[in-house]
């Protein structure tokens, strides 16, 4: 089974025209649909895509119509291939439910269990809109406990937006990351997937593969004194799963060399 992992698309049909700060950086960025379609078509030319996972920040503070447009654009490339998403801190749950899911608006966490022949996928919502670091409340942790109890018959792939390892990045990890990892101990975890940092990262946690995929829009480099240098960089991961076991993982990062803007994130 070939699983494509993307993250942090930050899509908007129209970005605010600005020359200042983060909004000015977005205004300098080409539409992330361009690299998104290029990457998906590149993968499809090499192998079948059996499952697409997007680990948050589908839009950048998007409206319901942005979610509809993004989903349609993805479907134009991959057809009816299964898509699983989790939400990021730039995703607005009400607009996501209305535009992506075609459901009534709700601010409730978006959690999901999907079952395949050889494994389960748990999509776990760590996102709070406009809270960059994310937050997992007690009810969310209870939901995760129950989800892990229900999925003991097969290996579990955990997908969350925020990274769980403190030393992974200068960007803070999920404050409750240790609590999440503690709950995974003793369970048959196939792998852990995340986004948020926009930087590719891989390691193993007690022999469990752990991957953060590069973003699909931009990457920010911390150059000190709250200055972040943004550049156009994007990519994807592809995982091959056989009989509930990892067989292979491919990682690709593309840097166009285009500098978008240096932003003082303290302002």
What confidence tens digit (pLDDT) does each residue in 56-98 have? Answer: 999 999 999 999 999 999 999 999 999 999 999 999 999 999 9
Indicate whether 267 pLDDT > 80: no
Domain count, the chain: 1
* Domain that includes residue 121, residue range: 2-264
Indicate whether 226 pLDDT > 90: no
Neighbouring-strand partners of residue 159: 123, 193
* CATH number for position 212: 3.60.21.10
| Mean pLDDT in residue range 240-258 | 94
pLDDT confidence of residue 160? 98
| pLDDT-wise least confident of 156-160, 199-203, 216-220, 262-266 | 262-266
């Amino acid at each position: 089974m070939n699983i494509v992992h993307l993250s942090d698309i930050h899509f908007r049909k129209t970005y605010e025209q600005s020359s200042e700060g983060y909004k000015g950086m977005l205004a300098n960025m080409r539409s992330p649909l361009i690299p998104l379609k290029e990457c998906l078509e590149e993968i499809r030319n090499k192998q079948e895509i059996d499952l697409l996972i997007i680990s948050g920040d589908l839009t950048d503070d998007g409206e319901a119509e942005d979610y509809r447009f993004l989903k349609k654009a993805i479907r134009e490339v991959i057809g009816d291939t299964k898509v699983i998403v989790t939400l990021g801190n730039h995703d607005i749950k009400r607009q996501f439910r209305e535009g992506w899911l075609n459901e009534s608006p709700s601010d409730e966490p978006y959690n999901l269990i999907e079952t395949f022949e050889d494994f389960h996928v748990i999509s776990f919502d760590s996102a709070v809109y406009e809270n960059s670091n994310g937050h997992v409340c007690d009810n969310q942790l209870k939901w995760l406990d129950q989800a892990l109890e229900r999925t003991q018959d097969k290996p579990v792939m955990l997908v969350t937006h925020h990274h769980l390892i403190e030393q992974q990045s200068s960007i803070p990890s999920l404050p409750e990351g240790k609590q999440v990892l503690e709950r995974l101990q003793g369970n048959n975890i196939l792998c852990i997937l995340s986004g948020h940092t926009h930087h590719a990262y891989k390691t193993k946690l007690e022999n469990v593969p752990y991957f953060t995929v590069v973003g699909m829009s931009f990457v920010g480099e911390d150059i000190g004194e709250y200055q972040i240098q943004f550049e156009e960089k994007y990519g994807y991961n592809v995982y091959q799963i056989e009989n509930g076991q990892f067989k292979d993982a491919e990682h690709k990062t593309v840097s166009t060399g285009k500098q978008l803007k240096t932003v003082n994130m303290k302002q």
